[in-house]
């Protein structure tokens, strides 16, 4: 087919990649329903996709990936900056010239026997001043259909590229060329040692090879929206963050916008789609994973969700934990590595419904309670199995979620998973202290982790795998943005939903009750409630965070609000050890915040 654009830079790039990868044909994608349905039909016919029960799960499909290709491959993910020091200690670095030479060899003829798809997409509402235009080239129809849901795929993007001659090039291949007559596998990919997820920050360029899964292959997601965008944001004066965005509306109709960063397994998606238990207060979702934020004409920080869909972890998603996420994938959804039941519906662990069996994530016959040869229970769905769902189908999607101007952020929330020490909620004395709180967000090591016996696991701003440059420079960018925003900077809070008693019982009920904590934050912004000063920050005065209707003994509440100075000194010591690895790049203001906290803890 002829190219639907006149942009020379784009045409030259597509020609260059075509010559290198030698596909059988080139298809320019348009984002239409006809295109989506056609590709799904082709994948069902080839055996790659399973069409689900039209009555139970309309227009939905299931896929099974190769067992070697089930998650992001962080140890094969690279920031190939010109200087190694610019990548910093949280990233894998390879010299960009060397990496391009290695990957160019792999790309030679890698699309033989396949179709090369040229996917024009926008991260953010098309034409938004905060959005970015990009092109992903891929030989995977699975990538195309997922990009239809996760980004705005449209020929309108080509018109914008023709106007401003600017796009972010993203190249992807599953790395599995086909010889004439060779049968394709259900999930083509390359072996782990040939997988590369490469970012070239000086060129705003992404190259991905060998994986067909998730953030390794849907290059608009973590690769562009965080790793490349975080570096662009530093140079252009905005922020690309691993944050949910929600609107919290009071009974009087006052709207508050909250952006929150949590490490994995800390309830991020659940908070984004929270069902408020505070009478008259309503939560609406704007985004569940990524926020792009730019100062607006009034000096406040405005945020968009650059994505158009949810790429959610399936296991644990249930009517009890997150009914809104479950409703979002009731139709027009893609499921990857879940159980497919005999009546062609889907199931996963902790879904909250019974399952008699079906085929598991490896496409093998499966029943609950099955065990392997060592006596271990076989899970039906992979722990990282996913649903891809359209954000517009979420019952609590905010009516302004696609406003090109974005929404003004009032509050930043940071958090981690601590069974002790960290109280339920506290507020920063200042935006700069808030940056320190976000930069030292931490969780306790888990029994399943390789770091048992280690100190706290720090995950600055929940961005450790996604900062596209030196993490010390990234922290400095937060301070620079604080100076830009001045007194219009969002208020900063830190939460911990996971405090336990000595005998292992949760002290806080969590889930919808977390709306009570959000309300206290909004009341603080409005000046409706005071706060008591503690060494770590400002905390609720008893009675001002409403507990009406909750059965929380006074002793439990006291424990939830407890600030143990000696325990915090140990946390501070761990933070110092962690931050030391950033060396001379650690911002002076971070050291000032540590010194100030130390002084308050000694007082």
In the structure encoding, which two tokens stand for residue 13, read together?
Answer: 């790039």
17 Cβ neighbours under 8 A, 6+ residues apart: 107, 116, 137, 171
In a 3-state reduction of DSSP, which class is residue 284?
A: strand
Cβ atoms of residues 187 and 65 within 8 Å: yes
pLDDT at 450: 42
Query: Does residue 446 carry a pLDDT above 90?
Result: no
CA–CA separation, 533 and 426 (whole Å): 10
Please determine, for residue 251, whether its predicted confidence score (pLDDT) is greater than 90.
yes
Q: Tell me whether residue 35 is exposed, middle or buried, using C-beta atoms within 10 angstroms of its C-beta: 0 to 12, 13 to 18, 19 or more.
A: middle
Do residues 339 and 346 make contact, with C-beta atoms less than 8 angstroms apart?
Answer: yes
Catalytic residue among 21, 29, 110, 266: 266
Q: How far is CA 553 from the centre of its chain?
A: 36
Residue pLDDT, tens place only, 206-242: 999 999 999 999 999 999 999 999 999 999 999 999 9
Q: What is the pLDDT of residues 535-576, one digit of tens each?
A: 999 999 999 999 999 999 999 999 999 999 999 999 999 999
Average pLDDT value for residue range 94-102: 98
Residue 155 has pLDDT above 60, yes or no: yes
On the question of pLDDT at 512 being above 50, the answer is: yes
Q: What is the pLDDT of residue 19?
A: 98
Quick check: 495 and 519 in contact, CB under 8 A? no
Is pLDDT of 125 > 60? yes
Q: Give the start-end residues of each E strand in 201-356.
A: 205-209, 239-241, 244-249, 255-261, 282-287, 291-295, 301-304, 309-313, 334-336, 339-340, 346-347
Annotated catalytic residue 266: yes
Q: What is the DSSP letter of 167?
A: -
The confidence band for 454, taking pLDDT boundaries of 50, 70 and 90, is low
Q: Which phi and psi angles does 2 have, rounded to 5°?
A: -75, 150
Determine the Cα–Cα distance for residues 441 and 432; give it in Å rounded to an integer.
Answer: 14
What whole-number distance in Å separates Cα of residue 579 and Cα of residue 454?
Answer: 15
Region 307-329: mean pLDDT is 96
47: pLDDT confidence band, cut at 50, 70 and 90? Answer: very high
Residue 199 in this model has a pLDDT that exceeds 80:
yes
CA-to-CA distance for 100 and 80, rounded, in angstroms?
Answer: 9
Nearest to 271 by CA among 255, 253, 292, 248: 248
Return the pLDDT at 267: 85
Sheet holding 334-336, edge to edge: 49-51, 61-63, 334-336, 386-390, 309-313
With 50 as the cut, is the pLDDT of residue 82 above it?
A: yes
> pLDDT confidence of 81, banded at 50, 70, 90?
very high
Domains for the chain: give ranges and CATH numbers: 8-49+73-236 (3.40.449.10), 241-308+401-602 (3.90.228.20)
Reported as a pLDDT band with limits 50, 70 and 90, residue 455 is confident
Q: How does strand 244-249 pair with strand 205-209?
A: unpaired
Helix (H) or strand (E) holding 153: strand 152-153
State the helix-helix crossing angle for 588-602 and 431-439, rounded to 10 degrees. 90
Mean pLDDT of 386-398: 98
Is the separation of the CB atoms in 18 and 26 below 8 Å?
yes
The answer to whether residues 517 and 510 touch, using CB atoms and an 8 Å cutoff, is: no
What is the number of other CB atoms lying within 10 angstroms of the CB of residue 547? 12
Q: pLDDT confidence of 1, banded at 50, 70, 90?
A: low
**166 phi-psi bin (left φ>0, alpha ψ -120 to 50, beta other):** beta
pLDDT at 324 exceeding the cut of 90: yes
Predicted confidence band at 445 (pLDDT cuts at 50, 70, 90)?
A: confident
Indicate the pLDDT class of residue 447, thresholds 50, 70 and 90: very low
More confident residue, 451 or 108: 108
Report percent pLDDT > 90 for the chain: 96
Confidence of residue 451 (pLDDT cuts 50, 70, 90): very low
Calculate the alpha carbon distances from 376 to 65, 340, 353, 379, 452 in Å: 22, 21, 22, 9, 22
The Cβ of residue 137 has, within 10 Å, a number of other Cβ atoms equal to 23
- Contact partners, residue 376, CB within 8 Å, separation at least 6: none
What is the distance between the alpha carbons of residues 465 and 524, in angstroms, rounded to a whole number? 33
Say how far apart CA 399 and CA 286 lie, in whole Å.
Answer: 9
């Amino acid at each position: 087919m002829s190219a639907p654009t006149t942009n020379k830079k784009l045409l030259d790039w597509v020609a260059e990649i075509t010559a290198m990868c030698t596909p059988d044909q080139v298809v320019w994608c348009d984002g239409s329903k006809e295109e989506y349905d056609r590709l799904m039909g082709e994948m069902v016919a080839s055996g790659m996709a399973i069409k689900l029960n039209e009555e139970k799960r309309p227009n939905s499909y299931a896929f099974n990936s190769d067992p070697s290709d089930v998650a992001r491959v962080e140890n094969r993910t690279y920031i190939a900056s010109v200087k190694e020091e610019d990548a910093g200690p949280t990233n894998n670095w390879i010299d960009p010239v060397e990496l391009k030479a290695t990957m160019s060899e792999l790309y030679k003829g890698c699309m033989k026997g396949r179709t090369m798809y040229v996917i024009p997409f926008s991260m953010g509402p098309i034409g938004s001043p905060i959005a970015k235009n990009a092109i992903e080239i891929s030989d995977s129809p699975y990538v195309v259909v997922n990009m239809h849901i996760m980004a705005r795929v449209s020929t309108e993007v080509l018109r914008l590229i023709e106007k401003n001659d600017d796009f972010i090039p993203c190249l992807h291949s599953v790395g599995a060329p086909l010889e004439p007559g060779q049968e394709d596998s259900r999930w083509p990919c390359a072996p782990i040692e040939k997988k590369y997820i490469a970012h070239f920050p000086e060129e705003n360029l992404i190259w991905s090879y060998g994986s067909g899964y998730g953030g390794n292959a849907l290059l608009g997601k973590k690769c562009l929206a965080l790793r490349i965008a975080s570096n662009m944001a530093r140079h252009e004066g905005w922020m690309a963050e691993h944050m949910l965005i929600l609107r919290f509306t009071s009974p009087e109709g006052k709207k508050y916008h909250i952006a929150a960063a949590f490490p994995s397994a800390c309830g991020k998606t659940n908070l984004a789609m929270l069902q408020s238990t505070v009478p008259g207060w309503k939560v609406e979702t704007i985004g569940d994973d990524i926020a792009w934020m730019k100062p607006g004409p009034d000096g406040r920080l405005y945020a968009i969700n650059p994505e158009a869909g949810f790429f959610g972890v399936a296991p644990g998603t249930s009517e009890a934990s997150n009914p809104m996420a479950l409703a979002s994938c009731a139709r027009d959804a893609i499921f990857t590595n879940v159980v497919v039941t005999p009546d062609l519906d889907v199931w996963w662990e902790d879904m909250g419904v019974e399952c008699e069996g079906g085929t598991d994530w490896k496409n093998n016959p499966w029943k609950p309670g099955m065990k392997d040869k060592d006596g271990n229970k076989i899970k039906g769905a992979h722990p990282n199995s996913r649903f891809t769902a359209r954000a517009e189908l979420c019952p609590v999607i905010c009516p302004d979620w696609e406003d090109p101007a974005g929404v003004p952020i009032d509050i930043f929330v940071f958090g981690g998973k601590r069974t002790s020490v960290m109280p339920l909620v506290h507020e920063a004395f200042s935006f700069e202290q808030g940056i320190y709180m976000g930069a030292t967000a931490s969780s306790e090591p888990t029994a399943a982790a390789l770091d048992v016996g280690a100190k706290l696991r720090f995950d600055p701003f929940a961005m450790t795998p996604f900062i596209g440059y030196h993490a010390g420079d990234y922290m400095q960018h937060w301070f620079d943005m604080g100076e830009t925003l001045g007194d219009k900077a969002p208020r900063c809070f830190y939460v911990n939903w996971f405090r336990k008693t000595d005998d292992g019982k949760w002290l806080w009920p969590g889930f919808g009750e977390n709306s009570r904590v959000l309300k206290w934050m909004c009341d603080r912004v409005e000046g409706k409630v005071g706060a008591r000063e503690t060494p770590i920050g400002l905390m609720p005065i008893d009675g001002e965070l409403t507990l009406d209707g909750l059965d929380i003994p006074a002793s439990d509440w006291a424990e939830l609000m407890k600030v143990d100075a000696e325990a915090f000194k140990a946390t501070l010591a761990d933070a110092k050890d962690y931050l030391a690895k950033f060396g001379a790049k650690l911002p002076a203001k971070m050291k000032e915040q540590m010194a100030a906290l130390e002084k308050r803890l000694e007082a």
